[in-house]
A and B are shown apart, each in its own frame.
Chain A
């Protein structure tokens, strides 16, 4: 079995809160939409390379023009060479810029955000009640319409 398949089997049934509804917001036409990336890759701005702690539910704000973001996720259990070669394979900033230039999307947010994924139940309430709403405010303050969520 591949290394990734073993991990997927192991973490697939990690207990999560039991939700009974699906909140949904309608998006404007893509050609008019301002799009932001929120990644759970545990990225940090250059120079802030301290490692995320396993239960850290906070987020970082990444200037959209920056390409020197650093991968600071605590987990060793994923390939890092792809990101080393091309950040877009995790954090597709150049792809969004190209789509905005081509008119496929309206515009790109001035700042993207990063959380650190692979969290466990102790951090869920922080994200649901504290840092998640705070991140939403950062996005709404930029008049973002659409969020593309990328894991790692």
Chain B
């Protein structure tokens, strides 16, 4: 849709398409359809040559006059959600803490190593920063046990954002615990199935749903393929 607006304004566009039918429906002039994992439209993180090839194939469509044109990239890359990443989790440290809170605190050094390795960039910080990650996980433990949003001091936007913050913390820590960039959704699957905290988040979302909270409160806390 943006392509149409830009073309009408005098800008030439070429788009990468990830849902082919939507590209067809838009009737925008030029798309390279990429059957790559959602979240990785250039295909392979850390592979500059592959990414440049994708861009060159897309820009080459600017020479086509038989618009609208949708060309398919010849490579198909599937997500690997069925094979969770294997990242070592920290040993139990403080038996007085809920295991999920203890685990999150134990991952702080790994999280910090990753953030340092990418020049300080992090997706964390919508409502929680790393120093308060244990408090955020503790709030989800309370929600999973039946506490209300008011009990933990969050509104609907904050609980959704906190869910993404906690996920981002774990995913970025996992990057430091893996010697390569895992396949798409492998870290996501690790978080929701292999850690203490992932299932707590899922239980909190279920509890909010059962309590009759607005759909926007719980629906976007976790991916649809992890028990929403």
Query: Are B20's CB and A76's CB within 8 A?
Result: no
A35 (CB) vs chain B CBs: closest residue: B59
A65 interface contact, C-beta 8 A? no
A150 interface contact, C-beta 8 A? yes
B150 interface contact, C-beta 8 A? no
Query: Are A105's CB and B59's CB within 8 A?
Result: yes
Query: Are B79's CB and A4's CB within 8 A?
Result: yes
A144 interface contact, C-beta 8 A? yes
A85 interface contact, C-beta 8 A? yes
B26 cross-chain contacts in A, Cβ below 8 A:
16, 19
The residues in B between 28 and 48 inclusive whose CB is less than 8 angstroms from any CB of A are 28-29, 37-46, 48
B125 cross-chain contacts in A, Cβ below 8 A:
49, 70
**Given A30-B59, A85-B46, are A70 and B122 neighbors across the interface (CB < 8 Å)?**
yes
Query: Are A77's CB and B224's CB within 8 A?
Result: yes
A71 cross-chain contacts in B, Cβ below 8 A:
123
A51 to B158 Cα, complex, angstroms: 9
Query: Are A81's CB and B175's CB within 8 A?
Result: yes
Query: Are B11's CB and A145's CB within 8 A?
Result: yes
**Given A38-B2, A146-B12, are A68 and B225 neighbors across the interface (CB < 8 Å)?**
no
Nearest chain A CB to B103 CB, angstrom units: 19
B48 cross-chain contacts in A, Cβ below 8 A:
88, 94-95, 98
A122 interface contact, C-beta 8 A? no
A12 to B123 Cα, complex, angstroms: 28
Query: Are A6's CB and B225's CB within 8 A?
Result: yes
B193 interface contact, C-beta 8 A? no
B18 interface contact, C-beta 8 A? yes
B175 cross-chain contacts in A, Cβ below 8 A:
81, 84-85
B27 interface contact, C-beta 8 A? yes
Query: Are B184's CB and A148's CB within 8 A?
Result: no
Query: Are A4's CB and B220's CB within 8 A?
Result: no
Q: Residues 121-132 of chain A: 1 if any B CB is under 8 Å from the residue's CB, otherwise 0?
A: 000100110001
A22 cross-chain contacts in B, Cβ below 8 A:
27-29, 67-68
Q: Which of B14, B52, B172, B225 contacts A148 (CB 8 A)?
A: B14
A148 cross-chain contacts in B, Cβ below 8 A:
13-16, 55, 58-59
A26 cross-chain contacts in B, Cβ below 8 A:
12
A129 (CB) vs chain B CBs: closest residue: B5
The residues in B between 142 and 174 inclusive whose CB is less than 8 angstroms from any CB of A are 157, 160-161, 163-164, 167-168, 171-172, 174
B4 cross-chain contacts in A, Cβ below 8 A:
19, 23, 128
B51 interface contact, C-beta 8 A? yes
A64 to B65 Cα, complex, angstroms: 30
Nearest chain A CB to B21 CB, angstrom units: 4
The residues in A between 1 and 31 inclusive whose CB is less than 8 angstroms from any CB of B are 2-8, 11-14, 16-17, 19-27, 30
B10 interface contact, C-beta 8 A? yes
Nearest chain B CB to A124 CB, angstrom units: 6
A89 to B191 Cα, complex, angstroms: 22
What are 5 contact pairs spanning A and B, CB under 8 A?
A: A12-B21, A19-B4, A25-B12, A74-B220, A90-B40
Interface residues of B (CB under 8 A from A): 1-22, 25-29, 37-46, 48, 51-52, 55-56, 58-59, 62, 67-68, 78-79, 81-82, 114, 118-126, 157, 160-161, 163-164, 167-168, 171-172, 174-175, 181-182, 184-188, 216, 220-225
A sample of 11 more A-B contacts (CB under 8 A), given A81-B45, A124-B1, A146-B62, is A5-B78, A19-B4, A25-B7, A25-B12, A84-B175, A90-B39, A127-B5, A132-B1, A135-B2, A146-B13, A148-B13
